[in-house]
Amino acid sequence: MGISPVAANITPMPQKNALASNYLNFTDGSGNDFAQQYLPELYEAEVERYGNRTLSGFLKMVGAEMPMSSDQVVWSEQNRLHVAYKTITGPTLVSPFTADTNFTFTNATAMAIKANQTIIVSEGFASIKLIVKSVASDNLSFIAYPYASATLDGVISDAATNLKVFVYGSEFAKGSVGMVESIEPQFTKFENSPVIIKDKYAISGSDAAQIGWVEVATEDGTSGYLWYLKAESETRLRFEDYLEMVSVEGELATATSAAVVKGDGIVGFSGDVKPKGTQGLFAAVETRGNVYSDFATPTGGSGSLEDFDSILKRLDKEGAIEENMMFLNRGLALEIDDMLASVNGSAQGGTIAGIGASYGLFNNESEMALNLGFSGFRRGSYDFYKTDWKYLNDATARGLTQDIDGVMVPAGTSTVYDQILGQNIRRPFLHVRYRASEADDRKMKSWVTGSVGGAYTSDLDAMEVHFLSERCLCVQGANNFVLFKSTSWLESK
């Protein structure tokens, strides 16, 4: 008589609850538990079927953690140095040109363009240089005349919209007065708020008294015998993952969202106290950074180089930070490997599998195993370092949705103006701020309540281990970040 395990898909639970999904059910096929003649052989050692299951580590590599004492962190980032606009509406063109023809350009918002400045106006790939005659008092329009010809025909369309304009200098007559107005530098203010993250592990006094040892392997590579604290250990590991996942995935609640409008039903939220959320890495880059969808989807291989070069051109328009780190899922990491291997093969007259393939170490000898993976490369004036991000591959995290392929993070630090300190400070582009004071440090709190396991705080016949943190992520210089997204993916099993 064979033994067939009925519960084939067993889901580990953080608590010792007798559920149909987390206990072994051996049957002889008739539905009677343990009806077989011999009990099954039980292994003491727990099998690590999923390897190291923790997901944290990303922010430890690229960020820092700093205390804060307020409900909000506020900082300012510099705007661009030069004056340029992309939404200018051009004049109605008059032919033939006469002395009283004014070429008036307008914009929906006030402009910093001034009289006597020289500008370049472009539409598509055509451009023309002009000098500004006068600017309206509300700074919503200006009159400018071209240097090269009397008319704008053939350069821009009649009453064209979305013209691009930038200032490249000025010209004044001899003995004339100076520039009439000055440009005051403006800063863009950003802010984020910490959220309170909680979790709890509990076990009754009766279960705590029933000793059942199991040998387990912990996530840090050590091993030992644990009892009911095995579940507490997993709860702590999962909570530590949540601390990073909230910083990556956090979303700010809008005033009209259901979380705010209907938030009274959520525990702890009522009246004016509503869920506010926090802006995580992905939300910050989507709002203030660069998003690239479906990298290399149509062509793949060497065709990916064109997509990558378009990213480089975008970086040229932003901070042009030389060193960048890419944290990618498996699919995009392999695609970039194929791109680099293909280019390497073409440079030497070979193919991906030919003489251009990169061999392993040991003097690059062909007898050694092929190494088709790349950890870093240089393109243009930029250095890129790439690594797999486990969070994007895990089937219980972003590997479940597969709509985020990776993120490119600039290396180094940024200089920003801290509104609280009132001075310029240098900070990593990514850093976590957590609530802390002399009286209470909320970076990672843990305490025990109940009447079991050495705690005597109440008459509850149980031990409860509580976890709490209050933190947020600051993404500074988000215009230098790139988020890789996908609109098509395979379902994760």
Look at 358 and 264; give whichever has higher pLDDT.
Answer: 264
Each residue's pLDDT tens digit, 14-30: 444 434 444 333 444 44
The pLDDT of residue 46 is above 70: no
Q: Two tokens at 452?
A: 């079991």
CA quadruple 69, 287, 394, 332: dihedral sign:
negative
The pLDDT of residue 281 is above 90: yes
pLDDT at 212: 47
Each residue's pLDDT tens digit, 117-139: 999 999 988 889 999 999 999 99
* Residue-range domain boundaries for the chain: 1-42, 44-79+185-493, 84-173
Each residue's pLDDT tens digit, 71-91: 888 888 777 778 899 899 999
pTM: 0.72
Distances (CA, A) of 56 to 69, 347, 391, 392, 490: 25, 39, 8, 11, 24
Each residue's pLDDT tens digit, 153-184: 878 888 899 999 999 999 999 888 888 878 77
41 exposure class (CB count in 10 Å sphere: 0-12, 13-18, 19+)? exposed
pLDDT at 35: 41
Average pLDDT, the chain: 76
Cross-strand partners of 400: none
pLDDT at 331: 87
pLDDT at 437: 87
**32-38 contact pairs (CB < 8 A, 24+):** 36/1, 36/3, 37/1
pLDDT at 93: 86
Q: Two tokens at 333?
A: 């990491």
**Do residues 275 and 466 lie in contact, with contact meaning Cβ atoms separated by under 8 Å?**
no
User: What is the C-alpha separation between 60 and 218, in angstroms, rounded?
Assistant: 20
Averaged over 274-294, what is the pLDDT? Answer: 90
User: What is the C-alpha separation between 423 and 440, in angstroms, rounded?
Assistant: 26
pLDDT at 471: 92
- Phi, psi for residue 302 in degrees, rounded to 5: -65, -25
- Report the phi/psi class of residue 124: left, alpha or beta, with left for phi > 0 and alpha for psi in -120 to 50: left
